[in-house]
Amino acid sequence: MGSKINLYLNICRMSKQYETVFILTPILSEAQMRDAVEKFRTLITDNGGSLVHEENWGLRKLAYPIQKKNTGYYTVFEYASEGGAVVDVLETEFRRDERILRFLTIALDKDSLAYNEKKRKGLVGRKKEETTTESKTEA
């Protein structure tokens, strides 16, 4: 466990971290969706980036229709990269791929990194119903 933390800290010192959210079209099958996510995952690692965390939010309703579609498969990648080369390559591929409805990439600052780490540990982002249910079961 200690070696993972040291590796994570070394990655943070050497490079900049980014978070990319992308929405895949809902007409894809489960296998096609997994293939598309795998394509972008390998694109990050092949271009010198390292994937820190991946989260699949699944099929969700969009806030407004995009290309006459009301739902989409959401996926979040958090990754580290030296320079912005990985981001440029990834965004170029997003623009070329017709399965992508939308994408957004942000550079993470130290506060965002701390928040994401807490979120992965389950310390933030929990619903109130979950915490009240847990306290009732303890009593």
Mean pLDDT of 34-51: 93
State the greatest distance between any 2 C-alpha atoms of the chain, in Å, as a whole number.
55
Note the pLDDT of residue 119.
Answer: 87
Give 96's Cβ-side CA count (13 Å radius). Answer: 9
- Other C-beta atoms lying within 10 Å of the C-beta of residue 44: 22
Three-class SS state of 109: coil
pTM of the model: 0.77
Residue 130 has pLDDT above 60, yes or no: no
Nearest to 76 by CA among 120, 135, 109, 137: 120
109 Cβ neighbours under 8 A, 6+ residues apart: none
Q: 3-state DSSP helix/strand/coil percent for the chain, to nearest 5?
A: 45, 35, 20
List the beta bridge partners of residue 51: 79
| Mean pLDDT taken over the chain | 85
Q: Which residues of 96-114 are buried (b: 16+ CB within 10 A; e: fewer)?
A: eeebbbebebeebeeeebe
The domains of the chain, with CATH numbers, are 15-121 (3.30.70.60)
Mean pLDDT of 20-25: 96
Mean pLDDT of 102-124: 90
